[in-house]
Amino acid sequence: MTLTRTSSTASAAIIARALASLVVTLVVAAPVVAQTTRAMTTDDLIAMDRLSDPQVSPDGQDIAFVVSELDLEADRRRTDIWTVAVSGDEPRRATTDSASDFNPRWSPDGDLYFLSTRSGSSQVWRLDLGDSQVTQVTDLPLDAANLTVSPDGSHLAVSIEVFVDCSNLACTAARLDAREQNAATGQVYDGVFVRHWDTWEDGRRSHVFVLPSEGGAPIDVMANLDADSPSIPFGGAEEFAFTPDGQAIVLTARVAGAGEPWSTNFDLFVSPIDGSRPPRALTDGNTAWDTAPVFSPDGGTLAYLAMERPDFEADRLRIMLREWPSGTTRSLAPDWDRSPSGLLWSANGDTLYATAQNLGHVSLFTIDVSTGEVATLLDDLGYVGAPALADDRLVFGLDHLTSPVEFFSATATGDDVQQITRFNETRLSALSLGDHEQFSFTGAGGDTVYAQIVRPAGFDAGQTYPVAFLIHGGPQGSFGNHFHYRWNPQSYAAAGYAVVMVDFHGSVGYGQAFTDAITGDWGGKPLEDLQLGLAAALDRYAWMDGDNACALGASYGGYMVNWIAGNWPDRFNCLVNHDGLFDMRSMYYSTEELWFPEWEHGGPYFKNPEAHEKHNPVHQVEEWRTPMLVIHSQQDHRVPLEQGLSTFNALQRRGIPSRLLFFPDENHWVLKPHNSLQWHDTVLEWLGQWLETAEPTTP
């Protein structure tokens, strides 16, 4: 076996071709003229500017946001803060340091606080937009994250990773320094998570700290609480909020002790900002997930999201309203069969805005606070995210299958949609992207199932095209109308493939019953949906070559690739398995968040082995015969590396053409630019080896 690595010569070539593609971005605001377009390359994909975290100024006139730009030479992305008028004037770069600046938050007087690594660690800084003066606010011995500003601007909240038994930050810093100096490297564990997502735990917890906005000693408002806030690894500043009077923090945390790896019992706690009292649980009556606190404009109501079923991470989130500071709690729109996120109060407090997965899109909804009536405000546009209020207009991010995120605005009724930013317009105008279309078919159990297709770049109806059949992960996920940076169907369309993506049973955005249908049935209805969906696509689109197809998937999608190898073995010319599950028994005993396999397969393996073994790919290895590319990474603790190695060993021992791509420095995802380029090159090379590709027609 040979492990392919990118040589220095190859690295130089990658840098050169990426820099060549970046030349396009230097022509800004030029008149649009007729030009010959070309298919999108991986270089184009990773060079796109990525916009995030829009924050509307107190006067409602401007938006501060983060732009992530490619720095291929450093093999990373760096971030700066920009501002733009809601009216859509030319954006202005607010920070220009070579370090990363991110997490902007407005003060009531119009200054910008933000986090930056320019001092060598992540600290709080302040920007006076009037004179562009930047001042460092904190000089803490540890990194700060998840910056939030109190309503009156007098205090800041950040999260810091600390040892719970330390009384100050210096104690944690000293203990970490001592570890670095110790020649012995062993770690001793007595329980809870040993490793999580992509790190080995070292005993620290993420705690929320509050400090004066002009700087000063931070106070741990979670002192002695053996829990993380925000939640690890994906929680952010949306998981805590200052109370309306600014004297306390409401935060999300899970206090589960030794049972943490198999518990989703996150609760809301309230804690005074001076640390004078320990955090008090607000939602301990609910043993499922409570999160995302947001106060109404008048301070009289706390809205938050809650699940009903313990230990199920994909349960439907419901909107809860609690009278503040004390009073009754009620569910708003309890029968609404969508799982909302991104809660936003209207200025008068009569309405809540929320985003939710919805039939292959992420839509924006309004919910009447008094009646619970739900209305769809923005639909069928793509993925709507990060809604915010700017006087009488809504500001939001939007991406779809032919564009990364840009910012838009609309009236409070969803009318007069206007684009605010155009960071990637010049790049996109040079590319010929494949047209996309959604269709539906009758799937397992007679249910309606939705799918997306993307036509090859330079599509010619007189040609036939090989098929890239993409299978999403989760499994409670979706391949919808979304511009993805790791699994972007345009990457395959650009190479001359027709792309088919089925949102099988278990997918989100089609009602909770549809999502629940995969539990205990991983290899049943989902496989049937994939089979029926591919057949429906081939019947509907005569230009797809069904005898010339490859199936690709990651995580659960990688599991499904292994399941297809044994249960649909003669359908595909090739397979691509990224981070896929191979053996459900070893997976249970080596993964970290045990609540996931226990819910999906009816309890711990040792109590219900039959359910775990029911759809276990390891039992069909003798049926495998399709060539497979296996991709896995060392730092993937969600689906540990041994799952990929086992898959590859089985293929090699069976004599099936196979290849292993291993990343020692990636987790469940491939994030570094050079690795992303190698990933795409390797995958497309594998497809090219086994599929006959039609030559795309130049538009």
What is the DSSP secondary-structure string of 194-208?
A: SEETTEE--SEEEEE
pLDDT of residue 27: 28
* R_g (Cα) of the chain, nearest Å: 25
Both 373 and 389 in one domain: the answer is yes
- Picking from 364, 453, 438, 689, the residue whose alpha carbon sits closest to that of residue 550 is 689
pLDDT of residue 444: 98
pLDDT of residue 370: 97
SS3 label, residue 55: strand
**Could you list the residue range(s) of the whole structural domain that residue 564 is in?**
428-690
- Picking from 505, 518, 659, the residue whose alpha carbon sits closest to that of residue 578 is 659
- Structural tokens at position 347: 């200025």
pLDDT under 50: residue ranges of the chain = 1-34, 696-699
Both 601 and 455 in one domain: the answer is yes
Q: Is it true that the peptide bond before 334 is cis, omega within 30 degrees of 0?
A: no
Total domains, the chain: 3
- Domain membership of residue 172 (yes or no) is no
325-334 long-range contacts, CB within 8 A, separation 24+: 325/243, 332/303, 332/367, 332/369, 332/372, 333/367, 333/372, 333/373, 333/374, 334/372
- Picking from 594, 664, 596, 608, the residue whose alpha carbon sits closest to that of residue 631 is 664
- Structural tokens at position 150: 């109190």
Burial (CB count within 10 angstroms: exposed 0-12, middle 13-18, buried 19+), residue 495 = buried
Domain boundary among 104, 137, 170: 137
Both 488 and 620 in one domain: the answer is yes
Cβ–Cβ < 8 Å for 582, 650: yes
CA-based torsion, 26, 28, 34, 39: positive or negative: positive
Instruction: Specify the pTM.
Output: 0.93
644 φ, ψ (degrees, to nearest 5): -70, -40
Both 588 and 669 in one domain: the answer is yes
pLDDT of residue 130: 87
Instruction: Return the residue matching tokens 């838009």.
Output: 408
Domain boundary among 371, 401, 423: 423
DSSP state, 123? E
Cβ–Cβ < 8 Å for 499, 419: no
Both 465 and 572 in one domain: the answer is yes
pLDDT of residue 4: 33
Q: Is it true that the peptide bond before 664 is cis, omega within 30 degrees of 0?
A: no
Read off the CATH number of the domain in which 459 is found. Answer: 3.40.50.1820
**For residues 257 and 234, what is the distance between their CA atoms, to the nearest angstrom?**
20
521 φ, ψ (degrees, to nearest 5): -140, 40
- Picking from 554, 577, 560, 664, the residue whose alpha carbon sits closest to that of residue 627 is 577
The type of residue at 172 is T
Both 561 and 485 in one domain: the answer is yes
Both 623 and 533 in one domain: the answer is yes
pLDDT of residue 482: 97
- Domain membership of residue 323 (yes or no) is no
Angle at 492 between CA 438 and CA 654, to 5 degrees: 110
pLDDT of residue 36: 86
**For residues 533 and 616, what is the distance between their CA atoms, to the nearest angstrom?**
23
- Picking from 588, 590, 643, the residue whose alpha carbon sits closest to that of residue 611 is 588
- Domain membership of residue 362 (yes or no) is yes
Instruction: Return the residue matching tokens 């705690």.
Output: 207
- Domain membership of residue 627 (yes or no) is yes
C-alpha count within 13 angstroms, C-beta hemisphere, residue 554: 18
CB atoms within 10 A of CB 171: 14
Both 433 and 451 in one domain: the answer is yes
Rounded-to-10 torsion of CA 322, 328, 329, 335? -130
Domain boundary among 111, 137, 163: 137
C-alpha count within 13 angstroms, C-beta hemisphere, residue 72: 24
Both 465 and 610 in one domain: the answer is yes
CB atoms within 10 A of CB 442: 12
Both 369 and 474 in one domain: the answer is no
**For residues 235 and 228, what is the distance between their CA atoms, to the nearest angstrom?**
10
